[in-house]
Structures are given as C-alpha cells and as structure tokens.
Structure 1
Amino acid sequence: MTDGPLPKSVLARGVMLLRACGDSGTSLSLAELALGTGLPKPTAYRLIGELVRLGLVERTEAGRYRIGLGLFVLGQSAPSVRELRDAALPYLGDLHEMTHENVHLAVPDGPDTLFLEKLTGRRATPIVSRTGGRLPAHCTATGKVFLAQDPRPPHRTLPRLTPRTMVLPGQLARDLALTRARGYGVNLEEAEVGISAVAAPIYARGHGPRPIAAISVTGGTRRLDVDRVGAKVCAAARALTRSLSA
C-alpha cells in the first residue's frame, strides 16, 4: 500500500493506478490495484474504467488490468528518452555482441534505477529486469553509478533483496567510494541471487557533473569477469558520452 495520505485530485489518483500497473510488470485484479494504491475499491473501479476507455490501460479477458498500448505510445514519444535510447542502441548492441549477456540502459528515478532499454539473447543469463522496470538503486550496478555522485547517507531504510544486499549506510558508503575511484559500479548478487553486473556512467554536455544515464552488463556471477567486462563497459560509456557531447 502507498505510504502517506491519498492524493485528493482525480489526476493524481489515476497516476497511482497507472504506476501500479506499470510496476507490476503483469496484469492486476481490481482488488490488487485497490490494495496496492490504498484507494477505495469503488474509486479504483471508476478510475480504472476511465483509463481503459482512454486506451491507457487494457482489461484482459480474465478481468484483470495491465498497461495499454496508448500509454506505451505516449512514453515512446518523449523526446529526451527517445533521443538517448537511439544514441545508445549501437553501443548497447556492441556490448551484447562482445559479452552475449544482458545489456541495460538506465536512468535515475528517485531512489530507483529505471531501465529504458534491455538487450538480451538466447545465450544470456535469465534475469528479472525488464524495459520500463525499476529496481532500488543501492543494490544495482547502474544505481550505484548514480548514488556515487551523491555520497550523503540515505535517509530511509534500504530494502534487502538478497543476503548480499548492502543495507547499512556505512557499508554502502564505502562501496560508493570504491565506485567513484574505479569509475564503474558493481553489483555482486545484491539484487538477485547468482546474478552480478557492472555499470558505467554516461554524461552529456550541459547537464553538469552528474551522469544522465548508465549502461551495464548483467549475467551469472560464475561467468561474469568483472574486471574484463568493466573495461568494456567503461569504453562503451566513454564513446557514448563523446557522441552525446559532439
């Protein structure tokens, strides 16, 4: 359930329902939407019906709800996202060809890292991430790249996703210092057991010293050579940064 008081505006409540559908990565029942947002069930029913009529949400034959094609089209039309994704795709493709693993393009989104693109293949290790999905920044390689530029300790309880997730502020601060020193972030089974990742920052002219995005390679811990893959990811990130600043 959403923390804090419910918003009063119809627009804000509609956005809550859209986010609930998007964050789930699958379809939700009306009861699940009401529980996840904290909205009264009659309110959730009325608003989700309007979102269906607008084409932003789809109602399945089983009576469940999921993000609709109309919302996907709107999201793809955002210029900043489209331009960044288009510029990054050749570099993501090169990394995938070199590693045969999952390759991500991510941006910061509050306390999370948001995946704008994911390239995978039959030889890549299956992982939980998806395009349009998000994970807590403190336990992902891309998220650590963003957090490393803001060394203040987090003012919230950090969720533990695996036994190796860093939830103590001091432990995380040391890891972020190491991220800054070596130039790339590493996630060693901190978001998913058996899965590790390496990520490097992307910068752009006019956006100051903070990275606007990050690219990463994610795969099985046993076969991911962090140092070797880290060098490849950093090289791709530098090339993309030069392209964006040209």
Structure 2
Amino acid sequence: MQEAEDLFPAPAPAPAPAPAPTPARDHSAAGHRARLRERLLTGGPDALADYELLEFLLFAGSSRADTKPAAKALIARFGSFAAVLEANPLAVQEVKGVGEAGAAALKSVSLAARRMAKGKVKGQPVLASWQALLDYLAIDMANLNRERVRVLYLNTQNRLILDEIVHDGTIDEGAIYPREVIHKALDIGASALLLVHNHPSGSPEPSRADIAITKKIMEAGRNLGITVHDHVIIGADGHVSLRAKGLI
C-alpha cells in the first residue's frame, strides 16, 4: 500500500512576491521644493544651507521657477546670507530671477528678525539684557555699508525710552554732537544713555576719534546729571564695548 504522502503530494510552495518597485525620485521643481520644505520643518536650525534658505524664501515670489540660481547669485553678489537680507530691495531686484515679489519676501524676513530682536529688549532693563541688546544692534547695523550713529536713551531703571538714529552717513562719515545728545536726553527725561555706531569696514576696533567724542559726551552729561553707560561699536566681525576695554 502506498504511503499517504505518495497519494496526496504536498503542494508546491508559492513563489515569493516580487519586491515593490522603488518610487522614482521626483526631480521636478515641485519635488525639490517639497524636499526643502520637509527638511525645513523636520530638521534643526542648520537643516538648510544659506542658499537653500534663500531659495525657500524666494518661492514666495515665484510659484514654479527654479530659484536656486537666483539664491546663489544673491550670495555671490552681496557676500553672505545676512548681507542679502540687509541689501537695498532695488539692488536685490537687479539679480536675475528675483523680481519685486522676491525682494519683498526677503525684506519681510529682515523686518521680522528686527522686530523679534527688538521685542526681547523693549521693556527690559538694558544692562540686564545686554546680550539681547547686542543681538538687536548686530541685526540692524553689522552689515550696513554706511556708518550709522544711534543713541539709546534710558530712564532711571535703565529701560529704553528712545532708540534714535542721530546720523546716517556715507562709508567714511559719522557724527555725534555732544550738545544735541545731552539736550535730547533732558528734553525726554532720560537719566542715562548708550552710544552706538557701526564700522562698515567690519572691524569694530575703536579709533581715537571714537574715544575722544565719547569722553566729550560723558563730560557734558556729567555736568547735567546724565550718565553715559557705554559706547558700543558694531562691525561684521563682532562688537567692542569701550567701557569693557577700559577706554572710558
């Protein structure tokens, strides 16, 4: 008698399923934008390179075009991501592929950064929130191609009363007039102030003129009860506090 397995042979094993095909990479502009968006939302602060972040910002001005060439051209022309955001919108529009809408998108980010930085300073004792103040000043002045002089007027709690730009000059001109600075402090009821200006050259090292004008304003203020806390010089390479360096 035949064995049971001979009469009823086991069925042949089913063939293994074929592997699912790997989805083709979407090389279209829409696919590229989607990948940038995913990296932006899921990655850390350095998820996108500078030119990629500019690409993303320029999407607002171009619904379909490839914005990578324009982003790279912007950095090549202005030198850095920060300098692009600080550039004059008319100069930005001269770069092929940017246009008015793209320039507006970049300008809006620059203004948003300023407001965020200023919000951390406003209402706070300036000397107790020193790093926030330096961040605010750097955003506003570090990449300027002209010299800007400003005075921060403070009340008795060292809270900011007024942030006034007293001079916007060319790359080699700046002016602070002691009499005007002190009179303004008296007019608005300020008891102290901070002097700030930038060096377009990038180096924040003070000149003899910087030190001399600071001492003149300190002397004028001392006679009228106005304290000059410091003179801070901002440059692309960092900042210098004249008081911290023992120069005043």
TM-score (norm 1): 0.27
Q: Which has the larger radius of gyration?
A: 2
TM-score (norm 2): 0.27
